[in-house]
Amino acid sequence: MSNSQPIHPGTRIGHVHLKVADLERALAFYCGVLGFQLMQKYGTQAAFVSAGGYHHHIGLNTWESLGATPPPPGHTGLYHTAILYPTRAALADALRRLQAADVALDGASDHGVSEALYLRDPDENGVELYRDRPEAEWPRTPDGQLAMHTRPLDLNALLAAAG
């Protein structure tokens, strides 16, 4: 199935809305650890958090999931939410926050086009924290095609880059 017209290039993913088992626990992670700002809360059932005062980048709710367990492996669903940091120093700050809160990483990768940290939130939702390299630095094949890769990310070098 192909549409002859591509989507408008200015289109962006506006926000993600996650089902969580415990709203306060989710807020402790997204606001307390990662540093998002609570924008609005709807009683004990939902909350909206953002970076920079936007109405919301992440919605959290217990409407269908209060007290629930994470879906088992091997089922469909969200693989991860990717949170884009504007600079390498900002990504390093995120890593420092995770370390200070004793949040374990599932992995850390250099993809050539980006550097990424992989982890799970308290509801076992996958989370990617990453920063893009400038497009001029993206790896390319001799004929100009994108040549992404997955290599280990040097966490000590990332932390050192924070200054």
Same domain, 60 and 97: no
Same domain, 114 and 161: yes
- Name the residue range of residue 46's domain: 14-65
- pLDDT on residue 2: 64
**Same domain, residue pair 57 and 113:** no
- Which pLDDT value is given to residue 3? 66
**Low-confidence stretches of the chain (pLDDT beneath 70):** 1-3
**Are 91 and 159 within one domain?**
yes
Q: What is the pLDDT of residue 141?
A: 96
In a domain, 61, yes or no: yes
pLDDT recorded at residue 1: 61
- Mention every residue, 6+ apart, whose C-beta is less than 8 A from residue 27: 38, 47, 49, 60
Q: Which has the closest alpha carbon to 119: 129, 127, 109?
A: 127
One domain for residues 151 and 85: yes
Residue 36: which CATH number? 3.10.180.10
Total domain count for the chain? 2
